Amino acid sequence: MRLEITCDDRLGICLDVLQILRDQEIDLRGIEIDPRGKIYLNFPELAFEDFSHLMPQIRRIPNVIDVKTIPYMPFEREHFEFDLLLSTLPDPVISIDIKGRIDIINDAAAQLLGAPKDTLSGDYLSQFITGFGLARWLDKQPKEPVFEAVVINNAEYYAQILPIWVAGEDGSRSFAGAVLTCKTEPNVAQWQNNKNDSAFDRLLTENAAFKKVIKEAQRMAELDAPLLIEGETGVGKELLAKACHQASARADKPFLAINCAALPDNVAESELFGHGAGSLSEHSAKKTGVLEQAAGGTVLLDSVGEMSINLQAKLLRFLEHGVFRRIGEEQEVSVDVRVICTAQNHLYELVEAGTFREDLYYRLNVLALNVPPLRERKADAVLLAEHFISQACKSLGRSLVKLSRSAKDRIKTYQWPGNVRQLENTMFRSVSMLDGDVLEANDVKLPEVQIDDDPLAIEIEDISLDEAVRRFESTVLKRLYPSFPSTRQLARRLGLSHTAVANKLRDYGIGKQRKKSQS
């Protein structure tokens, strides 16, 4: 039997509930506490008479609002949901503790190791894998994941090994083991790790945050799962997507892009999936869509958040099963492509608003990158400006133009709402209109940007320091929440406890119950 108790937060309320169970001599099997005002209890089934006495007693506890029976505990649902997801993954996944003992393993991994799942739990993974010093790696308590060639049952695989760090309530982090994943088939091709740097050479940066994004992109480029790249308009999402394609094993295959925001729904569906002869009009010819044209390569879905709900459903089916139907045809088409999507920093907000499917969001968000805006990369602004000036001079056939100190200062202090694209256009225009060979601050014509354009800017006149801190904290949480929709993920990102972040989100009204999109 399971109960859900809705209550207002009060010190000692859990003790009052537990005291009633103790007085009734009820064996408690489990308890969960939700900081949003929920207490969940799990105990053996009671006779009707005992149960009818228990419920009124709990309701009389101060601050208790409601008590009702529920079919399952939140943790039980999460457990079965996780187990179902893990069991259906085609790639082997193995979780190990700090000693290298197998803790969790999915069906694909058990098949790879050649033993039943229930007999593998507790075994040392090193007895099945050779070619990598797993025990020594765990002893170092590593912070960064690694890609390593390993041998399993006399076949070579390339495995990704990710360390697990658990955050405590005080913000401290403890090493808890690792998760290993590898391809379901032996990989006989040479592993590309650390050999794809040239594909990212066009991404110029001196910013530590963006360098980290590029480093993550180099790793993700070698994987075959969908990739979601988020960032403001003009930050270079498509350039990063192309680099990921060029650094992948699909580099010699097509890279095709479709702008979901620029095409009407029916046109976008035809462009993406194609249509049969006579399906659009009496004399319309058969057309092959972008997915088929890019067979073996990569398809970029630009501004995927602008895709209609109906088209989202068809895309989701393709991502899950690898098949689709052309418009006006019944026969299914199977094609092997990698899908990369780009979106501005509001895709999860569209999920909450009900205009973007939640299941599609999580299907696309297997691997994710977030490109920081140019205003957060001040040093990059000048670096990129000099690069674009050089390109403009070559294009215009004129001698090289230099930036004056005042022009550099103007470029660094400007907010660049249009990001890198705006900077490139501005430099080309400035060089085109310049008479001399030195670009001064007055030669860089820019529209004025109000402080409101900075998403972290707050007005601090006539408010206390405490209120200013609260406003800034709220702004930071609102900005990060779409990229870290789980409070546990957000807590790890901010170095805070899960409870502290959950309370802050509730106080600021962030992440309210979203409207469910239509199936």
pLDDT tens track of the chain, all 519 residues? 899 999 988 888 889 989 998 888 888 888 988 888 899 999 988 888 888 888 999 999 999 999 999 998 888 888 787 777 777 777 889 999 999 999 989 888 888 888 888 889 899 998 888 888 888 899 999 988 888 778 887 677 778 899 999 887 777 889 999 999 886 444 444 444 444 557 888 898 989 999 999 999 999 998 888 999 999 999 999 999 999 999 999 999 999 999 988 788 778 888 899 888 877 666 678 888 899 999 999 999 999 998 888 899 999 999 988 899 888 888 889 999 999 999 986 788 888 888 899 999 989 888 899 999 998 888 899 999 999 998 898 888 888 888 999 999 999 989 898 999 999 999 999 999 998 889 999 999 888 654 444 555 555 556 788 888 888 888 888 777 766 667 777 887 888 887 888 888 888 888 654 444 444
Q: Which of 474, 477, 478, 482 is nearest to 345 (CA)?
A: 482
| CB-based contact 147:132 (threshold 8 Å) | no
| CB-based contact 499:509 (threshold 8 Å) | no
| CB-based contact 383:206 (threshold 8 Å) | yes
Superfamily name and number for 208-367: P-loop containing nucleotide triphosphate hydrolases (3.40.50.300)
Write out the residue limits of the CATH 3.30.450.20 domain(s) in the chain.
90-192
- In angstroms, the CA 223 to CA 227 distance is 9
pLDDT at 516: 40
Per 3-state DSSP, the chain is made up of helix, strand and coil in percentages (nearest 5) of 40, 20, 40
Angle between helices 237-246 and 208-221 (to 10 degrees): 40
- List the beta strands (DSSP E) in 377-493: 402-403, 438-439
CATH T-level topology, domain 2-76: Alpha-Beta Plaits (3.30.70)
The backbone torsions φ and ψ at residue 475, rounded to the nearest 5 degrees and listed phi first, read -65, -45
- In angstroms, the CA 302 to CA 340 distance is 8
pTM over cut 0.75: no
Give the C-alpha distances (Å, rounded to integers) separating 333 from 189, 267, 290: 28, 19, 13
Helix, strand, or coil (residue 402) = strand
Please say whether the structural domain 465-508 has been given the CATH code 1.10.10.60: yes
pLDDT at 483: 64
Location of structure tokens 């870290």: 484
290-330 per-position pLDDT tens digit: 999 999 999 999 999 988 888 999 999 999 888 998 888 88
Q: What is the CATH number of domain 90-192?
A: 3.30.450.20
Pairing, β 332-334 against β 173-182: unpaired
Residue 161's beta-bridge partner residues? 146, 180
Q: Which of 270, 504, 318 is nearest to 493 (CA)?
A: 504
Count CA atoms closer than 13 A to 266's CA, side-chain side: 3
Read off the tokens for 518: 């239509």
Q: Which of 59, 12, 9, 14 is nearest to 35 (CA)?
A: 9
CATH T-level topology, domain 374-439: Helicase, Ruva Protein; domain 3 (1.10.8)
Write out the residue limits of the CATH 1.10.10.60 domain(s) in the chain.
465-508
Residue 64's beta-bridge partner residues? 7
* DSSP label of 247: T
For 462, other C-beta atoms within 10 Å of its C-beta total 6
Residues 6+ apart with CB under 8 A from 144: 163
Burial 271-282 (b: 16+ CB within 10 A, else e): bbbbbbeebbee
pLDDT at 458: 56
Write out the residue limits of the CATH 3.40.50.300 domain(s) in the chain.
208-367
Kind plus residue range of the DSSP H or E element containing 409: helix 405-413
Handedness of CA 370, 373, 237, 475 (dihedral sign): positive
Q: What angle do CA 115, 119, 123 make, to 5 degrees?
A: 95
Amino acid at position 322, single letter: G
Write out the residue limits of the CATH 1.10.8.60 domain(s) in the chain.
374-439
- In angstroms, the CA 19 to CA 407 distance is 72
